[in-house]
Amino acid sequence: MNAMPPATTALTVNGAEHRIAAAPMTRLSAVLRDQCGLTGTKVGCEAGDCGACTVLIDGVQACACLVPLGQVADAAVTTVEGLAADPLGAALQRSFLAHGAAQCGICTPGMLLAAMDLLARTPAPDEAQVQAALGGVLCRCTGYRKIIEAVMDAHRHAPLPAPPQTGAAVGARMVRADGAARVAGTALYGDDAAPADALHLRCIRSPHAHARFTIGDLGPLLARHPGLVRVLTAADVPGRNGFGIYADIKDQPVFAEGLVRYRGDAVCALVGDAATLAAIRAEDLPIAWQPLPAHATPAEALGGAPVQDRWADNVLTTGRVVSGNLEAGFAAAAHVVEGEWRTGFVEHAYIEPEAGYAVRVGDRIEVHCSTQAPAMDREEVAGVLGLPMEAVRIVPTACGGGFGGKLDAGIQPMLALAAWITGRPVRCALPRAESMASSTKRHPAAIAARAACDASGRLTAFAFDGTYDTGAYASWGPTVAGRVPVHAMGPYRVPAVNARARAVFTHNPPSGAFRGFGVPQAAIAQEALWDRLADALGMDRLEFRLLNALRPGNTTATGQRLEHSVGLVECLDALRPRWQALRAEAAAANARGGALRHGVGIACMWYGIGNTGMSNPSTMRITLDAAGRLVFWNGAVDIGQGSTTVLLQIAVDALGLPAAAFDQVMGDTDLTEDAGKTSASRQTFVSGRAAQEAGAALRRAILRRANAGDDAPLRLEGTRLHAGEAVLDLAALDAPLEGVGRFDPPTVPLDADGQGIPYATYGFAAQVAALAVDTDLGTVTLKRIVAAHDVGRTINPTLVEGQIHGGIAQGIGLALMEEYLPGRTENLHDYLIPTVGDVPPIECILVEAAEPLGPYGAKGIGEPALVPTAPAILSAIRDATGAEITRVPALPHRVLEAMSR
C-alpha cells in the first residue's frame, strides 16, 4: 500500500523533468507558478470557473487550479511557455497575434492551450468544435469572435503580417506592439513578479453590510503565529486614512475605524508568510461585531440615517441638465410616452484579480501593480503614507483587464503601508470572492423617463430622473451623476430637456467607474422610449432615430454647438440595408410559426470623450539619444485596449521612423509624464494627440539640426540618422533630441443648469441586434449584431473591432445575464458573464467623421462600443414578442413575466 507518497513528485513540464517538493494537495497551478517559475499559467478564480489556468495534462486540457499535484505524478504537462516549441503551437500564437485575439492577454494562455487540445486532434475545426473546446475559458475583453477566427485559421501556418510602412502606420492593421509577450506567456501581470522574499498580505474584510466592530488585543494572535509579522489597522496609517477619486472626497478608509459600511469593507490586514496566513481563520481574530441595520437600496437610504455623516440626506451629488421649455414641449406633443426602468450591480469581472507588490527603497516606496491610473495611485499612496509625491513610484505591471474597476486605488495603499512599516517587500493577490466583494461596481439605476414628439415624429421634450446607487463610498459617483444627464437624451435633437441624476449612498459596495459611467443604464430607458414613439407614429424605428439624429451644426441640451465629427447619420445610413435585410429574415422566420419568435432591435448612442467639463491633459515624450536609441516615454496604461500600439502608430507617422525603431517605456511614474488615467475613452484622443505632437516636435528638432526640408524622409542606421540627403551623426549629440507633446481637450465647465461645453468631442454609434426568443421558456438566442461606429479616424481597424466586439460582449452581459448580489453572486459560477457561445457573429461598420482636434481625426471607442448593445437587444426582444423589458438582466423568468404583462 503506497499510503506514503514520495516526498517529491516527478513531473514533466514542457519536456523538462521536475522534482517537486510540495504537499500533494498543492494545486498544480501553484506548483507551476511558484515551484517551476512558469507564471504564464494564470490564476483567476481557483474554482474552475475562468479557465485562465488551463494547461494540457498528457495532451488533454484541464484547469490546473483543480488538479492536486499528487494526481499528476509522472504526467507530462504543457504550459503556454512550451507552445512555441511545437510548430502548431507557434502557428496558433501567430494566428492570435494576426487576428488580434489577445487584448489584455490574461486569458490568452488558457485559450491557447484549450485550442491546442482541439487542434492536435482536429487541425481544421469548424466553429462549433472551437466553441466546444473553448467553452471553459472566459475572456472579458475580446468578445471571443477574433479568438474563434484565430483558432480556425491556425492550420494555415501563416507568417506574421509585415509591419506597416512609415507614413502608412495610421490606419494599418498593425500587430499589437505588446502582443508577442502575451501569446508567449511572458508578460508579467500583478501577481507574476514579486521578489522571492516578499511577505504576503491578507486583508480582513467585513462580512456585514453595516456594523460596528472592535479589535481586541492582537498580542495573543501574534504570539501564537510566529510567521505573522504584523497586523495593520487604522492606527498604523501615518497619513490620511482615506482615499477617493476626488481631491475633496477621500472618504474610503484604508482600514475602517470602528464602523464598516459594506460587506467587503477593509478592517485590518495580516502580514506574514503565506503558510501562516493560510492557517488563520476568521474566528481566530479578536474582532467583535455588532451588526447594524443596513440600507439595501437608495429608496431605503433616502430619508434614512446617513451612511456617512458628511452627507446627511445620503445624496452624494445631483447632476442636472435643463434646457428649453419642457411643459410647452409636452403640451404641444402629438405623442407622449413614459416608463420606469431598473438595472442591477454589474461586476467588472476582469479575469486578473487585483494584485501587486510594494517595496520600500530607502525613504521611497515603490508599488508594482495592475492599475489603470498610475498617477492617481501615486497621489493616493503619498496621501496615505504622509509622503511627498516624489517619494512614491508606481510601476504598472501588465494589466489583465480593468474596464474602470482598476481606476480606484484598491489594494495599493495597504500594500504600500505594509512594505513601508515592515521594511520588507509585501505582495498580495486577491482571491476572486474578495475581489468581487470589495471592488467597485457599475451603479444600479432606477430611472423614470418621459418623452414626446410631434405628429411628424420630431422630438419635442424629454424628462429623465435617475437614481443611482453609489454604495458606501463616493468613488466615481460624482462623475456618473455628472455624465448621465448630459447623455440621457441620447444623440438626438431635443428642444426641451430636464434631466437629473442623483448618486445616493447605501450600504452596498461602492459603485465606481465601469465602461460608460452610468450612460449605458440611461440608454436603456432613452432608447425604449424611442421605440414606443416610433410605434405610436407608425414609423420605422431606424427612420425615427435618423429623423431626430444630431447633425453637424446642431446644438446639444448643454448649449454646445457641434461643428464637426457628428457621424450618426452616416452610421444609420450604413446600417439601413442590414436592418432591412435582418428584419425581412426575422419576418420570414416568424411566418413559419413555432415557439421561437424572431426580432430585430436598434439603438444609438453618443459619448463624450474625456472628463466632463474638466481639464484632463496628457503629456507624451519621445527622445533620440547619442546611442541611436529612440524611446517613446508613454505614461498611458494599456489595459488591453491597445494604447501601446495605437499611440505608437500615431508617433510613427508623426515622426517618420518605423515602429521597429522605437523602444517604449510605459507607465512608470518615475520615468514618464502623466498621461492621465485610462478611462473615459480618452487615450486615443487625448494621449494620441499628445503623441502626434511629440512625434512632430522631435521631427522638427531633427530636421532643424540636419538642416533638411520639411518632407525629408528619415532613416535610422545605428547612430546615423538620414534625413533626406543629410546625415546626422547622433554620437555627436551632447543631449538627446527630444519631442514633447501635450494636449488638454478644450471644455467649459457646466453651470447649475448643466450648460457649458462638457466635452471637446463625442463618439457616435448605432447598433442593430437580431435574435430569437423562445416564447415558452423566455430564453434569448442572439443571432447577429451589426455595429456602426463613428470613430473619427480608424488608427488600427483590428483594435477598433476588438473594442467593439468586447464592448458588445459586456453589453450582452448587462442585458441578459449579469447581476451582482452582495454575498450571493460572489464568484464566477453564480455571477455569469458571456462565454464563447454567447456572443453571436458581429459585423463592424467603421464611419470616419474626422475630428479636427484628434490625432489624424481620431476620437475614442472603448466605452461607446458597450452603450447601445443592451438597448438594441431589449428593442429586439420587444420586436419579437411585444414584451417591454424594464428590468435587466433579462433572465428567462423575467422575459416570460414581461411577455405575460
Binding flag, residue 142, ligand FES (CB under 6 A)? yes
Q: Among residues 649, 647, 625, which one has the least CA distance to residue 638?
A: 647
In whole angstroms, how close is the CB of 780 to another protein at the nearest point?
10
Contact 580, 588 (CB under 8 A): no
Query: Which of 222, 274 has the CB closer to ligand FES?
Result: 274
52 binds, among ligand FES, another protein, ligand FAD, none (CB under 5 to 8 A by kind): ligand FES
107 binds, among ligand FAD, another protein, ligand FES, none (CB under 5 to 8 A by kind): ligand FES
Q: Which is nearer to ligand FAD, 347 or 744 (CB)?
A: 347
Interacting positions 9-28 with another protein (CB under 8 A): 21-27
**Which one of another protein, ligand FES, ligand FAD, none interacts with residue 102, CB within 5 to 8 A by kind?**
ligand FES
d(CA 373, CA 394): 9
Q: Which of residues 103-132 bind ligand FAD (CB under 6 A)?
A: none
Q: Which is nearer to another protein, 71 or 554 (CB)?
A: 71
State the DSSP string of 212-256. EEEE---HHHHHH-TTEEEEE-GGG-SS-S-B-SBTTB--B-SS-
CA distances from 214 to 222, 229, 240 (A): 17, 21, 21
Contact call for residues 758 and 558 (beta carbons, < 8 A): yes
**Closer CB to ligand FES, 32 or 199, in the complex:** 32
The torsion angle over the Cα atoms of residues 545, 546, 549 and 552, rounded to 10 degrees, is: 170
Q: Residue 277 or 488: which CB sits closer to another protein?
A: 277
CB of 63 to another protein, least distance (A): 5
| Residue 139 interface partner, choices ligand FAD, another protein, ligand FES, none, CB cut-off 5-8 Å depending on type | ligand FES
Which of ligand FES, ligand FAD, another protein, none does residue 900 bind to, with CB < 5 to 8 Å depending on kind?
A: none
Exactly one of 30, 35, 49, 805 binds ligand FAD (CB under 6 A); that residue is 49
Shortest distance, CB of residue 781 to another protein, whole angstroms? 9
Contacts of 146 (CB under 8 A, 6+ apart): 99, 100, 101, 798, 801, 802, 805
Instruction: Name which of 139 and 499 has its Cβ closer to ligand FES.
Output: 139
* Cβ–Cβ under 8 Å, residues 770 and 658: no
Question: How many other CB atoms are found less than 10 A from the CB of residue 765?
Answer: 31
Closest approach, Cβ 814 to ligand FAD, in A, equals: 23
Report the phi/psi class of residue 679: left, alpha or beta, with left for phi > 0 and alpha for psi in -120 to 50: beta
Of the candidates 372, 377, 375, 429, which has an alpha carbon nearest to the alpha carbon of residue 399? Answer: 372
Whole-angstrom distance, CA of residue 714 vs CA of residue 898: 64
Footprint of another protein on residues 294-313 (CB under 8 A)?
Answer: none
Q: Which of residues 787-826 bind another protein (CB under 8 A)?
A: 816-817, 819, 821, 824-826
Closest CA to 822 of 345, 455, 414, 258: 345
SS3 content of the chain, % helix, strand, coil (to 5): 30, 25, 45
* Residue 105 near which of ligand FAD, another protein, ligand FES, none (CB within 5-8 Å, type-dependent): ligand FES
Is 49 a binding residue for ligand FES by CB under 6 A? The answer is yes
CB of 105 to ligand FES, least distance (A): 6
Residues 326-365 touching ligand FES, rule: CB under 6 A, are 351
Closer of 188 and 539 to ligand FES (Cβ): 188
Q: Which of positions 92-121 make contact with ligand FES (CB under 6 A)?
A: 102-107
DSSP 682: -
Q: Is 893 in the site for another protein (CB under 8 A)?
A: yes
- How many residues bind ligand FES (CB under 6 A)? The answer is 25
> Measured over all CA atoms, what is the biggest interatomic distance in the chain, rounded to whole angstroms?
90
For ligand FES, which stretch binds (CB under 6 A), given 41-49, 211-219, 751-759, 819-827? 41-49
User: Whole-number minimum distance, CB 52 to ligand FES, in Å?
Assistant: 5
Closest residue to ligand FAD, Cβ-based?
48
- Which ranges constitute the DSSP H helices of 663-727? 688-706
Q: What whole-number distance in Å separates Cα of residue 627 and Cα of residue 718?
A: 7
| Site of grid cell 480606484 | 408
Interface map 129-148 toward another protein (x if CB under 8 A) = --xxxxxxxx----------
703 binds, among ligand FAD, ligand FES, another protein, none (CB under 5 to 8 A by kind): none
Pick the closer one to ligand FAD by CB: 48 or 892: 48
Is there a contact between 764 and 604 (Cβ–Cβ < 8 Å)? yes
517: exposed, middle or buried (Cβ count in 10 Å: 0-12, 13-18, 19+): buried
If one asks whether residue 48 binds ligand FAD (CB under 6 A), the answer comes out as yes
Nearer to ligand FAD, 48 or 840 (CB): 48
Look at the block and give the residue holding cell 491633459: 617
Return d(Cα 839, Cα 84) in angstroms, integer: 29
Nearer to another protein, 281 or 592 (CB): 281
| By CB under 6 A, residue 46 contacts ligand FES | yes
Smallest gap from Cβ 47 to ligand FAD, in A, equals 6
Cα separation, 290 vs 154, in Å, equals 59
Length of the chain measured in residues? 901
Q: Which residue, among 652, 590, 542, 611, has the nearest Cα to 863 in the 3D structure?
A: 611
| 67 vs 605, beta carbon nearer ligand FAD | 67
E strand residue ranges, 399-443: 426-429, 441-442
Reference 450, options 519, 520, 530; nearest CA is 530
Spatial separation of the C-alpha atoms in residues 102 and 175, rounded to whole Å: 10
238 binds, among ligand FES, another protein, ligand FAD, none (CB under 5 to 8 A by kind): none
Regarding 71 and contact with another protein (CB under 8 A), the answer is yes
Q: Given candidates 94, 99, 117, 428, which one binds another protein under the rule CB under 8 A?
A: 117
Q: Is 798 helix (H, G, I), strand (E, B) or coil?
A: helix
Q: Which does 523 bind (CB under 5 to 8 A by kind): ligand FAD, ligand FES, another protein, none?
A: none
- Residues lying near ligand FES in the complex (CB under 6 A) are found at 43-46, 48-53, 63, 65, 102-107, 139-142, 351, 401, 640
- Residues lying near ligand FAD in the complex (CB under 6 A) are found at 48-49
